[in-house]
């Protein structure tokens, strides 16, 4: 790609917006052109408007950019949205109506029948439904950050053995709550067994991702999910314990082999953000661990361990992923790369 595509960040000052800035530095296809934030930040430099919380410093060319008020006209055709769900819905629609391609992390449009939840290794064919949206542009969404690594594991197993049901127990990092997130007095030395609205998303999104196109919409896969979601005192990295019931019972060795060998369109096309190994399978009984494994494959892989027989279902395992990289900003960047690579922006 000879010329980089200018992109805008919606919600640029927030936790996901900051992660976009880190991941887009020196990207071979995209260059940050516009930083969009709330009206109270408009007109300030990014350094003034943002409470920077990343481990790397703000690049000078970003720090000195003037932020733009949400809703203002934008030059960039590709928009990455890290906006909070409380404001994301109508603003994303407005920009899509004006001809922009919006890649959203927000929940607002995920379950719209003509808006795909894309994981390019699994369902790049779902981009087709964007042709039938009511907008001049399009909206594509990422999944919930818990479901991202789970769906990556379920997809090849569903193809091979047909899933009947899944039970998920999540242990979710505090960065998933944004900044300032959960009060320290609540989370230190504690587990909070409730995250508002989370279980509903976890129980519905993977079926849409693994579903099939019927007409101009997506028909969800027909398996059931039960979820229990917990906030734990970990900074980054969501872990999930899965028990899976299949129509055709596999052995743990079958599951390990299929997961280790699985690759998809991003690997075949060598997209810039694609992990070489989208699923990393551990043999050690005490892995994966967020403190040790979230940055494998630059945070873009699903990490899996403790694959074994389940006395109630068929197979149980532990899955872990980087919730603000593959579960948020990194997933959106990979989705835009896939959209471009497949010719949908032409």
The catalytic residue among 50, 145, 229, 303 is 145
Could you give the count of Cα atoms lying within 13 Å of 67 in the half-sphere of its Cβ?
24
Give exposure, 276-306, as e/b (b: 16+ Cβ within 10 Å). Answer: ebbbbbbeeeebbbbeebbebbebbbbbbbb
Cβ neighbours of residue 206 closer than 8 Å, sequence gap 6 or more: 143, 147, 150, 151, 154, 166, 221, 225
- Per the annotation, the verdict on 145 as an active-site residue is yes
> Within a 10 A sphere around the Cβ of 190, how many other Cβ atoms?
12
195 neighbors 172 (Cβ within 8 angstroms): yes
171 neighbors 230 (Cβ within 8 angstroms): yes
- Per the annotation, the verdict on 126 as an active-site residue is no
The catalytic residue among 126, 158, 238, 322 is 238
50 neighbors 13 (Cβ within 8 angstroms): yes
Long-range CB pairs of 288-291 (<8 Å, 24+ gap) are 288/239, 288/318, 288/319, 288/320, 289/320, 290/173, 290/234, 290/235, 290/236, 290/237, 290/238, 290/239, 290/320, 291/234, 291/237
Task: Find how far residue 249's CA is from the centre of its chain.
Answer: 29
Q: Nearest CA to 260 among 159, 156, 129?
A: 156
Q: Nearest CA to 95 among 69, 77, 117?
A: 77
CA distance 153 to 300: 13
Calculate the CA dihedral of residues 16, 44, 183, 19 and round it to 10 degrees. 20
Catalytic residues: 145, 238
């Amino acid at each position: 790609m000879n010329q980089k595509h200018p992109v805008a960040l919606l919600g640029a000052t927030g936790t996901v917006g900051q992660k976009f800035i880190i991941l887009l530095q020196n990207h071979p296809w995209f260059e940050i052109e516009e930083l969009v934030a709330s009206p109270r930040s408009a007109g300030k430099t990014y350094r003034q408007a943002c409470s920077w919380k990343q481990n790397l410093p703000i690049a000078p060319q970003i720090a000195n950019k003037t932020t733009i008020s949400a809703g203002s006209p934008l030059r960039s055709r590709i928009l990455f949205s890290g906006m909070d769900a409380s404001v994301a819905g109508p603003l994303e629609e407005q920009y899509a109506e004006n001809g922009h391609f919006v890649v959203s992390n927000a929940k607002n449009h995920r379950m719209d029948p003509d808006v795909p939840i894309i994981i390019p290794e699994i369902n790049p064919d779902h981009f087709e439904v964007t042709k039938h949206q009511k907008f001049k542009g399009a909206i594509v969404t990422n999944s919930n950050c818990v479901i991202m690594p789970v769906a990556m594991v379920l997809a090849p197993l569903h193809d091979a053995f047909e899933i009947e049901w899944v039970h998920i127990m999540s242990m979710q990092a505090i960065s998933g709550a944004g900044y300032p997130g959960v009060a320290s007095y609540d989370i230190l030395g504690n587990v909070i067994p409730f995250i508002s609205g989370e279980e509903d998303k976890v129980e519905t999104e993977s079926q849409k991702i693994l579903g099939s196109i019927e007409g101009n919409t997506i028909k969800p896969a027909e398996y059931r999910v039960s979820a229990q979601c917990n906030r734990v005192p970990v900074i980054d990295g969501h872990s999930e314990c899965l028990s899976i019931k299949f129509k055709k019972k596999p052995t743990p060795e079958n599951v390990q082999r299929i997961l280790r060998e699985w690759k998809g369109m991003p690997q075949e096309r060598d997209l810039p953000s694609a992990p070489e190994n989208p699923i990393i399978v551990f043999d050690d009984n005490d892995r994966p661990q967020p403190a040790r494994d979230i940055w494998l494959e630059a945070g873009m892989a699903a990490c899996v361990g403790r694959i074994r027989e389940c006395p109630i279902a068929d197979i149980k395992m532990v899955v872990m992923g980087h919730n603000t990289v593959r579960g948020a900003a990194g997933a959106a960047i990979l989705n835009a790369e896939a959209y471009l690579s497949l010719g949908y922006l032409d």
